[in-house]
Amino acid sequence: MPYSVNDLVTSYQACGVKAGQVVYLTGNFGRLGVSLDVSKVELFERHLQALWQILGEQGTIVVPTHSASICNTDQIFDLALTKSEMGPFSEYVRLLEGSVRSFHPFFSRTAIGAKAEYICGHNSRHSYGGHTPFSRMLELDALFISVGIEPRQIVSLVHQCELEMGVPYRYNKEFMHQVIRDG
């Protein structure tokens, strides 16, 4: 039996989702159980419908849309065409009308909603640190939710905290990679 939108609304509210919030959503939706009653796209639509029902017009949803496998290759990063490697839900959100993807060839994020442009537009060249999607999400007191994966397995936020705290083992590593930007 598939999850209804109301079931999902109840679950997301139990996680602390509130109106107007920024929600960083990651995970593996397949781990919630397979339903032959709805397609993958219908399941994704239900999750988004439930979240928008809670968040309202002032809310924002952010997902990871990394493409790390192109690092150290000759594959050109194209903001519009390079697919997310973070699962079908993140790729689904990346392709939604009105979504904004941060310009990072390996560790991008995609946002949709009221604060999408602020979070993912006009970022620094870095994945972590100031003027990145993570720093802006922290500034906006975003709620981080992992669906179907234990939080210890998706600790990207820890890297932002490490950088801000100046831990001795965190450093910037620079890669030269071809990208397409503004044509």
pLDDT tens string 14-71:
999 999 999 999 988 777 766 657 788 888 999 999 999 999 999 999 999 999 999 9
Whole-number average pLDDT of the chain: 90
Q: What is the DSSP letter of 143?
A: E
Q: Whole-prediction pTM value?
A: 0.92
Residue 61 to residue 151: CA distance in whole angstroms: 18
CB 98 within 8 A of CB 116: yes
Give the model confidence (pLDDT) of 150-174 as tens digits. 777 776 777 777 878 888 887 777 8
- Residues in contact with 101: Cβ distance below 8 Å, sequence separation at least 6, in sequence order: 65, 79, 94, 108, 109, 110, 120
* Whole-angstrom distance, CA of residue 32 vs CA of residue 46: 14
Tens of pLDDT, residue by residue over 111-160, are 999 999 999 999 998 888 889 999 999 999 999 998 888 777 776 777 77
Strand partners, 64: 109
Q: Which CA distances in Å does 112 have to 52, 97, 121, 163?
A: 11, 9, 11, 26
Neighbours of 123 (CB within 10 A): 21
The tokens of 22 are what? 């920024």
Helix 5-14 / helix 40-55 crossing angle, nearest 10 deg: 50
**Single-letter amino acid code for the residue at 153:** Q
Q: Which residues of 31-68 are buried (b: 16+ CB within 10 A; e: fewer)?
A: eeeeeeeeeeeebbebbbebbbbbbeeebbbbbbbbbe
